[in-house]
């Protein structure tokens, strides 16, 4: 059974999580296995940016010791990471249609805790989120500080996958 944490972020909120991951040895990669550069990370919540650059949208966190397995999609002639059989933290960001406004996205970090290095990184991110993010009333989602500020000012409304507004306060 895997571990997960779900949250809403702006790029500003995501930048803090990126720093925590990198400070603890995490490496961001996209689904072809290539490491994301700093410019990619500065546009991390911009679905169209990553898709235009790589034609991939799924991203992961690995460590230098992660074992990665790949699959080949013959119909589209593309190699991609087999996330079911690889040692990764799976960062699930929704497609463009689920974006809320100005790069604010729902996201989820998920991983199988068998890999101790990844479990430590996941634990650091989770600890940070629990300490600095706002928890939804149903205790299912966290809202990053910048996202929460925009929410309080009426600039955004967090919604679930089925587009039902989430009650925050």
Where are the domains positioned within the chain?
3-152
The pLDDT tens digits along the chain (169 residues) read 588 888 888 889 989 999 999 999 999 998 889 899 988 888 877 767 766 766 666 789 999 999 999 999 898 888 889 988 999 998 876 544 344 444 445 567 778 788 899 999 999 999 999 999 999 888 888 999 998 998 888 877 666 655 556 667 6
What interhelical angle do 116-132 and 11-23 show, nearest 10? 140
pTM of the model: 0.84
Write down how long the chain is: 169
Distance of CA 152 to the CA centre of its chain: 23
Question: Where does 16-98 show beta strands of DSSP type E?
Answer: 27-30, 59-62, 70-73, 78-81, 89-92
Alpha-carbon span 80 to 25, nearest angstrom:
23
């Amino acid at each position: 059974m895997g571990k997960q944490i779900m949250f809403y972020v702006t790029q500003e909120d995501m930048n803090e999580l990126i720093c925590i991951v990198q400070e603890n040895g995490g490496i961001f990669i996209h689904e072809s296995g290539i490491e994301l550069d700093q410019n990619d990370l500065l546009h991390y919540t911009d679905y169209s940016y990553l898709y235009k650059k790589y034609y991939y949208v799924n991203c992961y966190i690995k460590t230098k010791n992660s074992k990665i397995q790949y699959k080949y999609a013959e119909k589209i002639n593309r190699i991609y990471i087999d996330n079911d059989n690889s040692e990764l933290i799976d960062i699930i960001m929704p497609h463009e249609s689920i974006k809320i406004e100005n790069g604010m996205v729902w996201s989820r970090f998920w991983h199988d805790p068998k890999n101790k290095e990844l479990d430590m990184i996941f634990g650091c991110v989770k600890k940070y989120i629990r300490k600095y993010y706002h928890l939804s009333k149903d205790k299912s989602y966290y809202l990053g500080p910048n996202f929460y500020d925009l929410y309080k000012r009426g600039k955004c409304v967090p919604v679930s996958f089925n587009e039902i507004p989430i009650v925050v306060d």
